[in-house]
Amino acid sequence: MDQNEQNLRALLTVMLLAARADGARDEREREAIRAAVLRIRAEGLDAEALWSEVETGRRDLAGTARELSSPEARELAYELATCVCDADGATNERERAFLAELARALGLASAFTERFRREADALASAPVAASGADPALADKELDEHILHQAILCGGLELLPQQLATLAILPLQMRLVYVVGKKHGYELDRGHVKDFLGVLGVGMAAQVLEGFARRLTGGLLGGLAGGFLGGLGARATGSALAFATTYALGHAAKRYYAGGRKLSAVELKELFASLVHDARGLEARHGADIAASARSAAPAALRALL
């Protein structure tokens, strides 16, 4: 096994371990992670086997940390793990203990790890309720808002900063809130997370898959420059972020406009159909997505929320 493949395996393993760090055994989230793992295609790497090793306790944190061969890879491992832990909200006590153990195993300075974790927690804990959400929003304006948010999320996935990928989740949750508000439903974080779960949109799974696609798409070119993922890998992740956000907004619109009468099966089928439609729509908005990426500077991520 060459060094790049070793680093890749270790980075994916750290993310998979992070996905289990909160101790919760939510079956919908586990199934979403497993589905994401199955979609990951990496030459010479069996991601499903790694997931099996993590699930059965055959991969541990200390041993995995030793497989990372450079300071850049070790810092990246911590950042990826933190974003996965923050996927469903700011880190809890068990996740912070996991990240502290990871930082020790990686030999990272607390100044770096604490700063990054605080930044990730701040993004992850952004309120779901959107200030100024207008229940009198016209249908056409709501459609425009959904499209704009899909473009914004597609643009964020083009950015090299790990926090940009994490920022997609609170934006998607806020989109569902806005749609619910328009149709007379005052949603909180728990309601929105349940809605995403019914659709099969796992939050940790979405973050993990986005990073994994970048990794397997050419990140490991020495890791000297941070995220060096190939343009193809980034474009694929951007298209998925656009399609998922667009489909999420329109599925929520159909569901709440209809008085929440769709069953879980009907919702999942509707969402799958909308994702398929959105993938065709994404090509027509490629220039808008690229422009969104150029305007969404890392320092402005908090302002977006």
Tokens of 26: 């939510």
Distance of CA 78 to CAs 14, 23, 40, 178, 226, Å?
8, 19, 21, 33, 13
- Which pLDDT does position 46 carry in this prediction? 81
pLDDT in tens, 90-115: 899 999 999 999 999 999 999 999 99
Helices (runs of H) and strands (runs of E) counted in the chain: 15, 0
pLDDT of 224 reads: 36
Which whole number is the average pLDDT over 32-41? 80
Residue 78 phi, psi (nearest 5): -65, -45
- How far apart, in whole angstroms, are the C-alpha atoms of residue 45 and residue 30? 21
Write the CA distances from 267 to 57, 157, 274, integer angstroms.
34, 26, 10
Residue 9 pLDDT > 50, yes or no? yes
The rounded distance, in Å, linking the Cα atoms of 145 and 159 is 22
Q: What are phi and psi of 45, to 5 degrees?
A: -130, 125
User: What is the C-alpha end-to-end distance of the chain, expressed in Å?
Assistant: 42
Q: Is the pLDDT of residue 231 over 60?
A: no
Using alpha carbons only, what angle is made at residue 166 by residues 212 and 68, rounded to the nearest 5 degrees? 45
- Give a three-class secondary structure readout of 144-195: HHHHHHHHHHHHHCCCCCHHHHHHHHHHHHHHHHHHHHHCCCCCCHHHHHHH
| Per-residue pLDDT reduced to its tens digit, 117-139 | 999 999 888 888 876 666 777 88
